[in-house]
Amino acid sequence: MYLLEEPKYLYLLLLIPILVALFLVQMLWKKKKQKEFGDLALVQKLSPEKSVFKPVLKFGTLLLALIALIFALVNPKIGTKMETVKRQGIDIVFALDISKSMLAEDVAPNRLDKSKQIISQIINNLGNDRIGIVGYAGSAYPVLPMTTDYSIAKMYLQNMNTNMVSSQGTALNDAVNLATKYFDAVDTSKLIILVSDGEDHSEGQSEAINLAIEKGIKIITIGVGTEKGGPIPIKADNNVIAGYKKDSNGETVITKLNPSLLTEIAESTKAGYIDGTSTKVVLEQIKNALDNIEKTEFETQQIAEYQTQYQWFIGFAFLLLLLDVFFLERKTAWLQKLNLFNEKK
């Protein structure tokens, strides 16, 4: 298994076609100037040792060196081996509301991004717990199965968006039902951390609560948003706000946080509701809640360690740059005798 530590640097590969285009333009410009100077065959006779192929070889070498340096910045990591380890912890499923109301900007930058920040910080403070991720709106969507690889979990979390589920609404019952399927071990402590604005949860709420109680699952709810509320932005393809969602009467829809409903869900499963306004407060209350839940021992397979591979790319780039020093633009004597590139006339 491999992991790219800094994938953002892959955008630098867009420089490659630009550099190739500039090189081709330069070659055509040189050829044009040579024709303006005089007869091309005569010009070549005046510089018989000049190679046509060597400049291309030097450019290709430098291009490969640049690509190698870009991959060194990306820093690919390879998991060397799998091992089975015993851990003590809790099975936690994060259920993130990805309905359109989570795009409201009554909290910065918006409810969905704020929720991602909260979940990411919670993951950073976990120890040996197994975690899974579910997204839900009008239906539930499995994002990540149970894992102890927190870096992978955060990567999947950041890619979640409101387009993952086509049907809108808030299918709490589907989310809890899907989350229960994540809990494969019978005797482990089970917890769902539900992050939402609590809007439109009334449908299927009682079924979700009864299912959680039946399976021995606690549901901690985290409310993100304000009771004053805010409009739901409609964004164009360039991510610019093109307007706001309106109802059938043409009035702008205002979506509001519903803490009472989230509190009822949490307390029915003997857990608690947390206001998501302050991430610091959320982390403190989550820590206290986890400390009061009994830890169970389980076995899990995980990659023992990731080893960085950037040094190989740096070494390869250095070797190519070293070779480039020895690539002179004049013809190589022994290659000239072989006439591999048909440079003899």
Note the pLDDT of residue 188: 78
> What is residue 288's predicted lDDT score, i.e. its pLDDT?
92
Structure token pair of residue 45: 């006779």
Would you say residue 333 has pLDDT above 80? Answer: no
In whole angstroms, what is the distance from residue 50 CA to residue 331 CA?
A: 6
Give domain limits for the chain: 2-79+307-338, 82-302
Max mean pLDDT range (22-31, 105-114, 231-240, 287-296): 105-114
CATH code for residues 82-302: 3.40.50.410
Range of lowest pLDDT (5-19, 216-230, 309-323, 327-341): 327-341
pTM: 0.63
Q: Which residues pair with 161 in a beta bridge?
A: none
So what's the pLDDT on residue 334? 43
Query: What is the reported pLDDT for 5?
Result: 77
Nearest to 207 by CA among 268, 271, 144: 268
Span 155-178, average pLDDT: 82
Mean pLDDT (the chain) is 82
The residue among 306 and 326 whose pLDDT is bigger is 326
CB burial class (10 A; 0-12, 13-18, 19+) of residue 195?
buried
Query: How far apart (Å, rounded) are the C-alpha atoms in residues 254 and 252?
Result: 6
Q: What is the pLDDT of residue 39?
A: 60
Q: Kindly indicate the confidence band of residue 67, based on its pLDDT and cuts at 50, 70 and 90.
A: very high
User: Is pLDDT at 226 greater than 80 in this prediction?
Assistant: yes
**Which percentage of the chain shows pLDDT scores above 70?**
77
Calculate mean pLDDT across residues 215-221.
91
pLDDT of res. 149: 86
Residue 124 has pLDDT above 80, yes or no: yes
**Which pLDDT band, with edges at 50, 70 and 90, does 335 fall under?**
very low
> What would the pLDDT profile of 26-37 be if each residue is shown by its tens digit?
888 877 776 666
